[in-house]
A and B are shown apart, each in its own frame.
Chain A
Amino acid sequence: MPRPAIRDYSLTGPDGAAAVENGRAGAQWYATPIARARMKQLMQRRDGPAIRDTLIWFAALGLSGGLGIALWGSWRAVLPFAVYGVLYGSAADSRWHETSHGTAFRTRWMNIALYHLSCFMMLREPVVWRWSHARHHTDTLIVGRDPEISSPRPPDFLQLLLKLFAIPGGIKSLRHILLHSLHRLSPEEATFIPPMEHHKVYTLARIWLAILGAIAALCLALHSILPAMLIGLPTFYGAWLSLVFGLTQHAGLAEDVTDHRLNCRTVYMNPLLRFLYWNMNYHVEHHMFPMVPYHALKALHAEIKADCPAPYPSLFAAYREILPALLRQKRDPSYFVPRPAPARAPVSQAA
């Protein structure tokens, strides 16, 4: 049957039901064969890299935020706040993500602590996003199943523009925090959060509401938005880089396939961008083997690249494909960028 031009991306619509019926939901996905001994090396957890990166991140946040406070009231505060915003509203995106997988640190409490902090910075409720992200990994870009498809077809360019400042997601989060604080879930959330986890959603929503309320009260008491410039607003004014990174992951690629080589991009980036993005530019690798920590993704890439389509040499090269693809999808929603997956590579050996 020909695929309808406009799909229903909601999790409660006919496309989701069809995915369950035809076996695309919860399907077996392709994985490059890697020898168990090598895989065990790649999966090994370490505290060192994430402690180092987190200390650098906190120091950079402290420095830029401190400069912003010191220069508050003058135009010279714009630059430090621009840096602070990106460190907060964009770098926290990859931190919540990695810690949601529990792979950033070896020590469990460190993963949990950084997960809750970075979730708050991104206004992503910890329990909701843990389950939503699990679904994203089970059914990556399966229409009607994946709650994290960032560029549905046909693309909505106004939405994408607003996403540069996290406006659609931020407003939705604030609405949902309110809803959850009233002990209610949206119908979509009810499809992927099991009942035994609902009470955690409600409790955390109330805690977050209290923190956000305290920040608002402090702003009112001080007659200044400075407290919100440090906590809360950077989620919005610093979000642009996380969209720039995030669109490279899947935008314009095939939906409803069960091979991450066809619906994910691996993009080479410089060390600064990789620090901010915690190596999520190795996105095929991350999806194929989500238990490999961010600090081992470069090594995993070397292991499987012969079995994957050619990586994009730069962010610029990725966008040279993404932007025309989105423009074309506006006219023809059935269009996608075909990625040529090489013939199966031989099993790699342990180093």
Chain B
Amino acid sequence: MSDTLNLTLKVWRQASPSAPGEFKTYKVYDISTHMSFLEMLDVLNEDLISKGEEPIAFDHDCREGICGSCSLMINGQAHGPDRTTTTCQLHMRRFRSGDMIVIEPWRARAFPVIRDLVVDRSAFDRIMTAGGYVSVNTGNAVDGNAVLVPKQNADKAFASATCIGCGACVAACKNASAMLFVSAKVSQFALLPQGQPERSQRVEAMVAKMDEEGFGGCTNTNECEAACPAGITVDNIARLNREYIRATLTAE
């Protein structure tokens, strides 16, 4: 088996938010199977730059699966074919020489394209600003064990907090719904004592913001869970619904 691949890429190119975009076809040769998907795009960009063409814009930062910057619909799958894997952690050995790979940006009204494969995900930031925090008084740090947290709640909250906010859930959902993201962010606080004081106003404000930003609603198809690189489960969505009902019925 050869250790290098020759591939045909169909890549979405769009010069600006308002410019009409189109797919352009590129060929890349001698791609090492040990490369990540983004490194493969780096190779293509080096080639484009040397030819005097515009390189392809794509988001990335840590390249180790923790920051949530990278994105990309790869052959119609968010972050490509592997489960719980970001695009930056996707290896080229997942592909065969001669493959054609279609690369598109996340598609959602709430995530407008900025350029090529880069979309504006600041809608997520605005949802967080609406309620995705715990207010604390400044001053000395409180003693680590002053507030008791049951281990199983800490584990669940931690699992929810592993959401890296990449937007794959929105990208994969047929309704471009942000429910998995919002549910993880609501859950990580709802499960902890520190989250209790603002529990109701948080879920109400974050859901209102989510709707205002133009995301769709949840129809329980569970596609988000399968696409999530951080392994966030739809248990969180049930908890979000529960928190929402609770806040509706009891909050003052």
A and B associate in one complex:
no
| B interface residues with partner A (beta carbon < 8 Å) | none
| A interface residues with partner B (beta carbon < 8 Å) | none
